[in-house]
């Protein structure tokens, strides 16, 4: 019996040895040593997190330069997760984030085949499908099926919601708190805008080849100016970009009544950027919005806080209305009633206490730690492009993009 017992123990030991040997080979063959990626060849890295924190790993193709990293290496999230850009922590990572622009055919070969079934692979982006098609030329079909578990983006249905609202949530809470105690100050701030500075447009993308709706956007501004709207244009496209020796764009916008919040994409689901949030909401400037779908605005931003360009029958009609507001302080200030009336603020904004990437990273940390189910996204290209509005994906004069969409979505456009 003793010999049988010893043989059984020896067999179990051999199983462990074989497992460790195979595991070691798997790690070495699947590029998670980090030596070529982080320059840490001579630096001993302790993979086990001695502080009992969970790693959130950014797959680093996009962030090879430390100055490009959107969150510093070693940042602590919610006191329980730690950000890393070093691929050697992969076996211990709770979640791995892959940015959409991190990949090309070369990068695909470097994606680790090692996979802990409890780990969560997250695809994340802040760009619209239109931008990906016409600027980045991203072919999401290159990803193997069932590669990703979760998404992190500005879309409402994303597993981790990452709205492009910069400090939008904190701005809303800050404004509401201040004006609850100083209700008359709002009128005083609006009166400061009586300086003949009517409308401002800030533009830096300068008609890059492929920007799908830039011609329509530029045409709208030209039509507004021809109809009599005085528009001051700033940004690198007009040779007067901001620098450290000049006032900031925020400082300048405080003096204007209207901001032309014109997006680089048209009717892309939930795509509302800093054009609205930080350039308008933060500066008590009414945004004249073009690009987002109205149904998305109605769900995502304070009601009555914007002017929707497509609501008007013509550019001349829009200019006439802006001139009316310019001469009527009572009507103008109605666009700021959301500050005084919480019912005008979407519920999700009232529930948020923080905004921006750090808030989304906290959500990722908490949700991943509590996760008990296995979710798999069958086809990331079909998810991102196949569920999008057609007017977002199409571009005037872009035959290549139209062909791509037909091929990927198998539809007739």
Query: How would residue 365 be classed by pLDDT, with cut points 50, 70 and 90?
Result: very high
pLDDT at 117: 82
Mean pLDDT confidence for 201-206:
84
Q: Let me know if 230 is exposed, middle or buried by CB neighbors in 10 A (0-12, 13-18, 19+).
A: middle
SS3 110: coil
Answer whether residue 399 shows pLDDT above 50.
no
Residue predicted with more confidence, 46 or 288: 288
The structure tokens listed for 248 are 């900031």
pLDDT at 105: 57
Query: How would residue 138 be classed by pLDDT, with cut points 50, 70 and 90?
Result: low
pLDDT at 320: 98
Distance, CA of 64 to CA of 308 (rounded, Å): 41
Lowest mean pLDDT among 229-238, 253-262, 399-408: 399-408
Distance, CA of 81 to CA of 48 (rounded, Å): 13
Distance, CA of 257 to CA of 323 (rounded, Å): 11
Tens-place pLDDT, residues 93-121: 999 998 887 665 566 666 666 678 889 99
Answer whether residue 284 shows pLDDT above 90.
no
Beta carbons within 8 Å of 19's beta carbon, 6+ residues apart: none
Distance, CA of 323 to CA of 219 (rounded, Å): 20
pLDDT at 146: 87
The rounded Cα 23 to chain-centroid distance in angstroms is 36
Tens-place pLDDT, residues 307-349: 999 999 999 999 999 999 999 989 998 999 888 888 888 888 7
pLDDT at 163: 83
Tell me which DSSP letter residue 246 carries.
Answer: S
SS3 287: strand
Answer whether residue 373 shows pLDDT above 70.
yes
Per the DSSP assignment, residues forming a β-bridge with 234 are 202
pLDDT at 48: 41
Beta carbons within 8 Å of 336's beta carbon, 6+ residues apart: 186, 190, 284, 305
pLDDT at 30: 35
Tens-place pLDDT, residues 51-108: 568 999 988 655 455 555 678 888 999 889 999 988 888 888 999 998 887 665 566 6
Task: List strands edge to edge, sheet with 150-153.
Answer: 76-77, 81-84, 54-58, 93-99, 120-124, 150-153, 160-161
Answer whether residue 412 shows pLDDT above 90.
no
pLDDT at 152: 96
Answer whether residue 282 shows pLDDT above 90.
no
Q: What angle do CA 374, 379, 385 make, to 5 degrees?
A: 130
pLDDT at 168: 63
pLDDT at 341: 85
């Amino acid at each position: 019996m003793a010999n049988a017992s010893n043989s059984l123990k020896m067999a179990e030991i051999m199983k462990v040895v074989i497992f460790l040997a195979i595991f070691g080979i798997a790690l070495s063959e699947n590029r998670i040593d980090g030596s070529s990626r982080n320059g840490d060849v001579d630096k001993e890295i302790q993979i086990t997190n001695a502080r009992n924190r969970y790693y959130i790993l950014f797959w680093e193709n996009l962030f090879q330069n430390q100055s490009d990293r959107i969150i510093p290496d070693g940042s602590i999230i919610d006191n329980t997760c730690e950000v890393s850009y070093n691929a050697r922590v992969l076996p211990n990572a709770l979640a791995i984030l892959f940015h959409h622009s991190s990949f090309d055919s070369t990068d695909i070969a470097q994606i680790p085949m090692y996979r802990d079934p409890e780990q969560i692979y997250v695809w994340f982006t802040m760009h619209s499908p239109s931008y990906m098609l016409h600027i980045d030329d991203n072919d999401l079909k290159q990803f193997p099926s069932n590669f990703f578990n979760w998404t992190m983006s500005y879309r409402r249905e994303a597993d981790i919601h990452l709205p492009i609202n910069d400090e939008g949530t904190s701005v809303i809470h800050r404004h509401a708190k201040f004006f609850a105690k100083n209700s008359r100050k709002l009128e005083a701030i609006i009166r400061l805008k009586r300086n003949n500075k009517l409308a401002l447009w800030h533009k830096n993308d300068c008609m890059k080849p492929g920007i799908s709706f830039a011609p329509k956007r530029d045409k709208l501004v030209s039509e507004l100016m021809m109809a009599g709207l005085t528009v001051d244009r700033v940004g690198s496209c007009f040779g007067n970009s901001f620098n450290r020796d000049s006032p900031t764009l925020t400082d300048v916008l405080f003096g204007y009544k209207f901001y032309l919040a014109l997006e680089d994409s048209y009717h892309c689901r939930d795509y509302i950027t800093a054009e609205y949030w930080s350039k308008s909401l933060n500066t008590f400037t009414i945004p004249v919005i073009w690009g987002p779908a109205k149904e998305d605005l109605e769900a995502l931003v304070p009601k009555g806080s914007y002017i929707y360009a497509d609501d008007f029958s013509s550019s001349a009609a829009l200019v006439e209305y802006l001139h009316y507001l310019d001469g009527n302080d009572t009507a103008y200030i109605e666009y700021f009633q959301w500050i005084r009336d919480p019912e005008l603020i979407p519920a999700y904004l009232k529930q948020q206490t923080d905004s921006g990437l750090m808030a989304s990273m906290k959500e990722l940390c908490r949700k991943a730690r509590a996760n008990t189910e296995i979710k798999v996204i069958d086809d990331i290209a079909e998810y991102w492009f196949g569920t999008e509005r057609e007017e977002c994906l199409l571009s005037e004069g872009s035959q290549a993009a139209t062909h791509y969409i037909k091929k990927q979505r198998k539809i007739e456009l």
